Copies of this chain bind each other. A is one copy, B any other.
Amino acid sequence: MDILIKGAIVITQDSKRRIVKHDILIRENKIEKVQEKIDEKAELVIDAKNRIAMPGLINMHTHVAMTLFRGYGEGLPLDRWLKEKIWPMEAKETGADAHVAAQLAMIEMIRSGTTAFNEMCLLGAKEIGKAAEEAGVRGHVCQGLFDLLPGRTIKGELAVMKDTAFPKSGLVSYGVGPHAVYTCSEELLRKSKEFAIKEKRKVHIHVSETRKEVFDTQKKTGKRTFEYLDSLGLVDSDSLFAHSSWVTKKEISLAGKKKLNIIHCPVSNLKLATGGICPVFEYDKSGANVCIGTDSVASNNSLNMFESMKLASLLQKHKYWKADIIPYSRILDFATRNGAQALGIDCGRIEQGALADIVLLKPGPNMTPMHDPVSNIIYAANPSNVTDVIINGRPVMVEGKIKTLDEGAVLARAQELSREIQAR
Residue among B70, B272, B311, B383 making CB contact with A382, cutoff 8 Å: B383
Flag whether A297 is at the interface (Cβ < 8 A). Answer: yes
Residue on B nearest A301 in the bound complex, by CB: B379
In the complex, the answer to whether A111 meets B75 with C-beta atoms within 8 Å is: no
In the complex, the answer to whether B368 meets A271 with C-beta atoms within 8 Å is: no
Nearest first, the 9 A-B pairs at minimum CB distance are A71-B375, A369-B418, A74-B375, A270-B314, A384-B384, A108-B365, A301-B379, A71-B372, A273-B317
Known contacts A104-B365, A314-B271, A365-B111; decide if A327 and B75 are in contact (CB<8 Å): yes
List residues of chain B with CB within 8 A of the CB of A209: none
Complex alpha-carbon distance, A70 and B371, angstroms: 7
In the complex, the answer to whether B371 meets A71 with C-beta atoms within 8 Å is: yes
Flag whether A267 is at the interface (Cβ < 8 A). Answer: yes
- Mark the stretch among A11-19, A154-162, A407-415 that contacts chain B: A407-415
Extra 11 A-B pairs, beta carbons < 8 Å, given A70-B380, A104-B365, A384-B384: A71-B370, A72-B371, A74-B371, A74-B374, A111-B366, A270-B318, A273-B321, A275-B321, A297-B380, A368-B411, A383-B383
List residues of chain B with CB within 8 A of the CB of A325: 273
For window 77-118 of A, CB contacts with B under 8 Å fall at 77-78, 81, 104, 107-108, 111-112
- Mark the stretch among A142-150, A302-310, A333-341 that contacts chain B: A302-310
Complex alpha-carbon distance, A317 and B75, angstroms: 11
Residues of A within 8 A of B (CB): 68-78, 81, 104, 107-108, 111-112, 267, 269-273, 275, 277, 297, 300-304, 307, 310-311, 314-315, 317-318, 320-325, 327-329, 363-372, 374-376, 379-380, 382-384, 407, 410-411, 414-415, 417-419
Residue on B nearest A421 in the bound complex, by CB: B369
Residue on B nearest A267 in the bound complex, by CB: B314
In the complex, the answer to whether A271 meets B369 with C-beta atoms within 8 Å is: no
In the complex, the answer to whether B327 meets A415 with C-beta atoms within 8 Å is: no
Known contacts A76-B324, A270-B318, A321-B275; decide if A71 and B302 are in contact (CB<8 Å): no
Complex alpha-carbon distance, A77 and B327, angstroms: 10
List residues of chain B with CB within 8 A of the CB of A77: 323-324
List residues of chain B with CB within 8 A of the CB of A69: 371
The smallest beta-carbon distance between A364 and chain B, in angstroms, is 7
In the complex, the answer to whether B415 meets A304 with C-beta atoms within 8 Å is: no
In the complex, the answer to whether A415 meets B370 with C-beta atoms within 8 Å is: yes
In the complex, the answer to whether B267 meets A75 with C-beta atoms within 8 Å is: no
Residue on B nearest A370 in the bound complex, by CB: B415
In the complex, the answer to whether B384 meets A366 with C-beta atoms within 8 Å is: no
In the complex, the answer to whether B111 meets A379 with C-beta atoms within 8 Å is: no
List residues of chain B with CB within 8 A of the CB of A318: 269-270, 273, 275, 277
Residue on B nearest A109 in the bound complex, by CB: B365
In the complex, the answer to whether B323 meets A271 with C-beta atoms within 8 Å is: yes
In the complex, the answer to whether A411 meets B317 with C-beta atoms within 8 Å is: no
